[in-house]
Structure 1
Amino acid sequence: MSDREGLSGAPGNDEDLSLPKATVAKMITELLPKDVVCAKETRDLVIECCVEFIHLISSEANEICEKESKKTIAPEHIISALKALGFDQFTSEVEDVLKDHKQQQKKRKSQSLNSRERLEEELLAEQERLFAESRARFQSGPQ
């Protein structure tokens, strides 16, 4: 990923990169004491800092990925990038979030399989009903 690529990996202008302002504003509001207000310029600066942080981590992770002759940045590359850039204090939290994410993915996959199995069972039951209906009509002879 070059210095001019966006968060999506596509070439672009850094000015095109941003985070949802409403989401960031909500996070800031939740983190600050109730009697403290955040100016719009401050919120915009926080967004710029976040985008720069993401850019820094993704660039480092990309370099690690390339050194391993990989074509896809994996979560492990992000964790290695955090360590390489001196953000070791974040790695345990990132690993916890990754673990939670993997568990949620397994749960969704399991739920998807269960619903697919139920649908298949329903379709088979409907098919059997239609076959039985057809057999009954055939056995009763011409009408």
Structure 2
Amino acid sequence: MESMDIVGKSKEDASLPKATMTKIIKEMLPPDVRVARDAQDLLIECCVEFINLISSESNEVCNREEKRTIAPEHVLKALEVLGFGEYIEEVYAAYEQHKIETM
């Protein structure tokens, strides 16, 4: 049986915009570095899987707190639970910056 998410789409349907991801990958690397298309595809798949992992754990944290809406605090706790605690400060700073930029 195919795994389904809450809105009825399979995980295989989940993706990120390839052009956007390619741009991000290129921005993170020195200009003289080339990335094979297969490597780009693999990086994109890793990003999708990471988002699935964080989303799932955030949902678990939310459910344990008997809440119905995943809040930023749930995402931060999920990072900690999954062993990404060293990123919490940077993620929180990015979140705060995002709030300022979208006001």
TM-score, length-scaled by structure 2: 0.90
Q: 2:51 aligns with which of 48, 54, 63?
A: 54
Off by >4 Å, runs of 4+ in structure 1? none
> Aligned-pair distance for 1:102?
2.5
Return the alpha-carbon distance in structure 2 between the equivalents of residues 4 and 48 of structure 1: 18
Deviation at 1:60, TM superposition (A): 0.4
Corresponding position: 1:91 with 2:52: no
Give ranges in structure 2 of 5+ residues lacking alignment.
none
AA at the equivalent of 1:69? E
Could you say which structure has the higher helix fraction?
A: 1
Aligned positions, number: 101
Unaligned 5+ residue runs, structure 1? 109-143
- Rounded to whole Å, the distance in 2 between the matches of 1:40 and 1:52 is 18
Could you say which structure has the greater relative contact order, defined with CA pairs below 8 angstroms and 6 or more residues apart? 2
Distance of 1:36 and 1:84 partners within structure 2: 34
Q: CA RMSD in A?
A: 1.4
Q: State the 1:4 CA deviation.
A: 2.6
Residue 96 of structure 1 aligns to which amino acid in structure 2?
A: A
- The SS at the match of 1:73 is coil
Q: 1:67 aligns with which of 64, 68, 89?
A: 64
Out of 46, 53, 76, the residue aligned to residue 73 of structure 2 is 76
Change (3 A) 1:80 1:43: same
Alignment of 1:18-33 (within 5 A): 18-33=15-30
Query: Could you state the TM-score of these two structures normalised by the residue count of structure 1?
Result: 0.66
